[in-house]
Amino acid sequence: MIQSGVQAGIVSLSGSTLFPGSKLYRWASKIGGDHRNLADLTRPILSGLVQETGETIALLAYDEATEKAEFLDVIQGWRPIQYKLQVNVAVPLYAGAAGKAVLAFCDQKLVDSIELEKITEATITSREVLKTELKVIHERGWATGDGERVLGAFGLAVPFFADGKIRGSISATIPQYRKDERDLPSLTQLMREATKKIERLLSLGVNLDR
């Protein structure tokens, strides 16, 4: 019976301890309407990504109704020098990889209306420059940010969707001095695979057991 529950996604098994599974979290999310359930739902995926890459991985959730985004979960990596990101605080969509990965798939009206305040010397404050970059991000499917929100940090982010709508992004935060040592194409591929797993959990009409 336990094995059937694990296969169905109703429970998950860690050692000899049972935990709520992805399907239960999904049901809870639908019933409660609280997008913070995303953190519990996606943590096993993010943890696996951290173990494989060694980088700090963050989950950004986007609320279409309020047009706001916030980090729901941050898992610290094991590589030298990591950045601590705060959770449950508003994240600007125009500055940094995590936000831009979302903004590139938002309504153009939001892009036109958002206030571009300088956070660091590298923050994009030109709307035309921002629009050009967002177009590139939309076409290639991932975003980067170089010290735009956090000084000394390089970010790489990949968006995820639910039922065709943008729901957020996952991002890796790397010290700028170390980005040239990092195999970014490989990291991007691993992150895209992780977002595909997240989308299978979130999207309606998807077989969670496949």
Q: Which residue has the tokens 């936000």?
A: 99
pLDDT at 34: 53
In this structure, the dihedral spanned by the alpha carbons of residues 52, 56, 59 and 62, taken in order and rounded to 10 degrees, is: -130
Q: What is the strand order of the sheet 56-63 is part of?
A: 68-75, 56-63, 165-175, 153-162, 143-146
**Angle, in degrees to the nearest 10, between helices 184-202 and 37-53:** 150
* pLDDT in single tens digits along all 210 residues of the chain: 566 655 656 556 666 665 556 555 555 554 344 555 789 889 999 999 999 999 999 999 999 999 999 999 999 998 866 666 778 888 999 999 999 999 999 999 999 999 999 999 999 999 999 999 999 999 999 999 999 998 899 999 999 999 889 999 999 999 998 888 889 999 999 999 999 999 988 875 433 333
pLDDT at 41: 87
Q: Identify the DSSP state of 176.
A: G
pLDDT at 16: 65
pLDDT at 17: 65
pLDDT at 2: 63
pLDDT at 208: 36
| Calpha distance 63→26 (Å, rounded) | 17
- List CB contacts of 2: < 8 A, sequence separation 6 or more: 11, 13, 18
pLDDT at 43: 94
pLDDT at 169: 98
Which domains, ranges and CATH numbers included, belong to the chain?
1-33 (no CATH), 35-202 (3.30.450.40)
